[in-house]
Amino acid sequence: MRSDKMKSGVERIPHRALFKSLGLTDEEMRRPMIGIVNSQNDIIPGHLHLNDIVEAVKAGVRIAGGTPFQFPAIGVCDGIAMGHEGMKYSLISREHIADSVEIMAMAHPFDALVFVPNCDKIVPGMIMAALRLNIPSIFVSGGPMMPGFYSGKKMTVSNAFEAVGAVGANKMGEQEAKDIENYSCPGCGSCAGMFTANSMNCMTEVIGLGLPGNGTIPAVNAARIRLAKEAGMKVMELLGKNICPRDIVTSDSLHNALTADMALGCSTNTVLHLPAIAHSAGIKIELKDINRISKATPHLVKLSPAGPDTLMDLWQAGGLPAVLKELDEYGLLNSGCMTVTAKTVAQNIKGASVKDANVIRNRENAYSPDGGLAILWGNLAPDGAVVKKGAVLPEMMVHKGPAKVYNSEEDCMAAIMGGKVVSGDVIVVRYEGPKGGPGVREMLTPTSAIAGMGLDSSVALITDGRFSGASRGASIGHISPEAAAGGLIGIIEDGDIISIDIPNNKLELLVDEKTITERKAKFVPLEKPVPNGYLKRYRKMVTSANTGAIFEE
């Protein structure tokens, strides 16, 4: 056993003495030692309850003959960090989480690991660590939040963000806004729509690292506790069979994840995280691969913010096994891939079925014949940009308009709330990319304000930053190269015409080549000051958004 390095032999007498100071018996030390990565904290709603999940995992490990040890991982709540300097620390926490798990698991050589994440960057950070370490591992997330209810309508945190714009445009009174504030987020769990956290928990299940139900069982349902116990037991089986993360995360399983991503209409952040996860497995995903898969995959599920349904509805409709069964029938899956059930995808979904065809549609009734995400190219994004096209209104799929240019999210938000953005505009927010931010802030605050004002049918927003999965509308992010790296987005001026053509994957600055050449010759990228510390180190090491914003080797 790997843990023999720290517990077996005469040389390990002092190590065993230290274990006994923890209250461990000789029998517990003889058993496999299982690390449990617990990202519980008291500030993230999706993580508030994770100690209960971890206790269930521990019970499962003990049932199956192992000895569990939990250790912590940090986390950032994107919703609470949104709209201020704190958001610069969200994406960059992914690398920190991966590094810290590696440190703990190498310093204390556990035989296997159980990862308990829930939100945003915590999930991909932990997956990246699991792939680096490549010891038997399983994931069990904290599960999605239940939807809120107000005036007989389901609600999510998107409604709260959009209330800001509605109040600013005098379309909503203060009392209604207060009611939305009180009722939209009813309890613990990852925010109830197909935002980044739930997108990545679904991807974890599809890719094979989480048990069926990992992505959709609600946080407050007892089935989540049972799932955690099963994960604790299952990791012991994975250890016995020596099934490791790199046996599961392969080119074929990543293809499955991207296919499900398109069918589900997941967050644009998956286009940052899946390439970074692939990189940790020694596999390369390119943006052209994502578009190719999107073109072949029907959009079958439309959850908040793109539609009224939530993760609870998807779970009740049959969950991800039902979605995968539908995709497999179209020949779109690699169903022979191994998973943490110690069975293949085909075996896992054999008995699955769609229980609500209004939530999980078939190909004939799909929302669109192709996927919920699209990659755009053009002179503005020669290395690519991404849009959640499943959340774009039909009238904004093709749009031309004059640019309104801002060098920060704060400047953009002040203009929106000040009434300076009007119908037809293309808002440009730059210097928010990996190096420029630094940290690739999410633009949910401005996109929600636009939607709340009723401008999402006539105003687009493009940025070298990124978007929350809760953003909707013609919101185009990850423009690469970014402004700080000399990208064309850095030389756009107010009034320049920008052309967006999502069906044809085009994003163009309609300025003549002579003018572009003259502007480039004079262009000096802005470098925002950052404090000494992690932000400064991150800026030096990070690569472009089209690579997944991984660190340079």
Q: Is 86 exposed, middle or buried (0-12, 13-18, 19+ CB in 10 A)?
A: middle
Per-residue pLDDT for 61 more than 90?
yes
**Residue 532 confidence (pLDDT):** 85
468 is catalytic: yes
* Type of residue numbered 277: I
- Helix, strand, or coil (residue 78): helix
> Kind of pairing, strands 398-406 and 426-429?
parallel
Q: Is 340 exposed, middle or buried (0-12, 13-18, 19+ CB in 10 A)?
A: buried
**Residue 230 confidence (pLDDT):** 98
**Is 35:108 a contact under the CB 8 Å cutoff?**
yes
**Residue pLDDT, tens place only, 420-450:** 999 999 999 999 999 999 999 999 899 999 9
- Give the DSSP letter string of 484-509: GGT-GGGG--TT-EEEEETTTTEEEE
Q: Give the single-character DSSP code of 12.
A: G
**Residue pLDDT, tens place only, 85-114:** 999 999 999 999 999 999 999 999 999 999
Give the residue-averaged pLDDT of 337-357. Answer: 98
Per-residue pLDDT for 204 more than 90?
yes
Q: How confident is the model at residue 373 (pLDDT cuts 50, 70, 90)?
A: very high
Closest to 90 measured CA to CA, from 70, 69, 75: 75
What are the C-alpha distances in Å from 156 to residues 13, 437, 553?
54, 28, 39
Percentage of residues in the chain having pLDDT higher than 90: 97
**Residue pLDDT, tens place only, 155-190:** 999 999 999 999 999 999 999 999 999 999 999 999
**Residue pLDDT, tens place only, 30-57:** 999 999 999 999 999 999 999 999 999 9
Q: Is 27 exposed, middle or buried (0-12, 13-18, 19+ CB in 10 A)?
A: exposed
Per-residue pLDDT for 375 more than 90?
yes
The residue whose two tokens read 């490549």 is: 134
Phi, psi of 331 (to 5 degrees): 75, 25
**Residue 470 confidence (pLDDT):** 84
> Kind of pairing, strands 112-116 and 137-139?
parallel
Pick the catalytic residue from 100, 304, 468, 480: 468
Give the residue-averaged pLDDT of 256-274. Answer: 97
Distance CA 31, CA 25 (A): 10
**Sign of the dihedral through C-alpha 102, 106, 112, 114:** negative
**Residue pLDDT, tens place only, 11-29:** 999 999 999 999 999 999 9
DSSP E strand stretches across 144-257? 148-150, 153-155
475: Cα separation from own chain's centroid: 16
pTM of full prediction above 0.75? yes
Beta-ladder partners of 499: 400, 508
Per-residue pLDDT for 469 more than 90?
no
Phi, psi of 529 (to 5 degrees): -70, 140
- List Cβ neighbours of 400 (8 Å cut-off, separation of 6 or more): 497, 498, 499, 500, 510
pLDDT, the chain, mean: 96
